[in-house]
Chain A
Amino acid sequence: MAKTKLTFTYLFLIVAAFVSIFPFFWMIVSSTNLSVEVTGGKLLPGAHLIDNLHKLTESVDIWNAMWNSAKIAISTTILAMLIASLAGYGFEVYRSKAKDIVFNILLLSMMIPFAALMVPLYRMLGQVTNFIPFIGIDTPAAVVIPTMTTAFLIFFFRQSTKMFPRDLLEAGRMDGLSELGLFFRVYMPTMKTSYAAAAIITFMSSWNNYLWPLVILQTPENQTIPLLISNLGSSYSPDYGVIMIAIVISTLPTALVFFLMQKHFVAGMVGSVK
Chain B
Amino acid sequence: MKTADPALNTGKKATRARMGNRVKEGITGWTFVGIAALLIFIFFFYPMIQALILSFQTGTGMNLKFNGFDNYTRLFTDSMFLTAVKNTFIYLIFQVPLMVILALFISVLLNDKNLKFKGFFRTAIFLPCITSLVAYAVVFKYLFSSDGLVNAMLLNLHLTNTPIDWITDPFWAKVTIIIAITWRWTGYNMIFYLSGLQNIDSSIYEAARIDGASAIRQFFSITVPLLKPIILFTSITSTIGTLQLFDEVVNITKGGPGNATTSISQYIYNLSFKYSPDFGYAATVSYSIVIMIIILSFIQFKVAGERNG
Contact = CB atoms under 8 A, between A and B. Distances in A.
A and B: real partners? yes
Interface of A: 2, 5-6, 9-10, 12-13, 16-17, 19-21, 23-24, 26-27, 38-39, 41, 83-84, 86-87, 89-91, 93-94, 96, 99, 102-103, 106, 109, 111-124, 145-146, 148-149, 151, 154, 179-180, 183, 204, 207-208, 210-211, 214-215, 225-226, 229-230, 232-234, 238, 240, 243-244, 247, 250-251, 254-255, 257-258, 262, 266, 269-270, 273-274
A34 to B, nearest CB: 14
A14 to B, nearest CB: 8
Contacts of B149: 26, 41
Given A20-B128, A225-B132, 15 more contacts: A17-B124, A41-B149, A90-B30, A99-B29, A111-B294, A112-B48, A118-B286, A121-B47, A210-B246, A211-B247, A215-B272, A233-B134, A233-B138, A250-B135, A251-B130
Contact of B147 (A39, A102, A114, A270): A39
Given A20-B124, A121-B47, A254-B132, A111 B240 contact: yes
Contacts of B233: 273
A120 B54 contact: yes
A126 B114 CA distance: 60
A13 B32 CA distance: 47
A247 B47 contact: no
B110 A13 contact: yes
B130 A16 contact: no
Contact of A113 (B43, B125, B195, B286): B286
A117 B51 contact: yes
Contact of B109 (A9, A83, A109, A117): A9
A23 B252 CA distance: 15
A96 B106 CA distance: 42
Interface in B89-144: 106, 109-110, 112, 114-115, 120-121, 123-128, 130-143
Interface in B47-90: 47-48, 50-51, 54
15 contacts: A20-B126, A23-B143, A23-B183, A41-B149, A86-B32, A103-B33, A113-B265, A113-B290, A116-B290, A117-B44, A122-B272, A210-B133, A258-B130, A269-B188, A269-B191
Contacts of B282: 119
In the complex, which of the residues A27, A120, A234 has the most CB atoms of chain B within 10 Å of its own CB atom? A120
Contacts of A250: 132, 135
Contact of A262 (B33, B123, B128): B123
Given A207-B132, A240-B142, A113 B289 contact: yes
B191 A266 contact: yes
Given A20-B124, A26-B139, A210-B246, A86 B35 contact: yes
Interface string B258-292: 00000011001100110000010011001101100
Given A83-B39, A112-B48, A211-B247, A17 B120 contact: yes
Interface of B: 24-26, 28-33, 35-37, 39-40, 43-48, 50-51, 54, 106, 109-110, 112, 114-115, 120-121, 123-128, 130-143, 147, 149, 152, 183, 187-188, 191-192, 195, 215, 230, 233, 240, 243-244, 246-247, 250-251, 254, 264-265, 268-269, 272-273, 279, 282-283, 286-287, 289-290, 293-294, 297
B53 to A, nearest CB: 9
A186 to B, nearest CB: 14
Contacts of A90: 28-33
B247 A215 contact: no
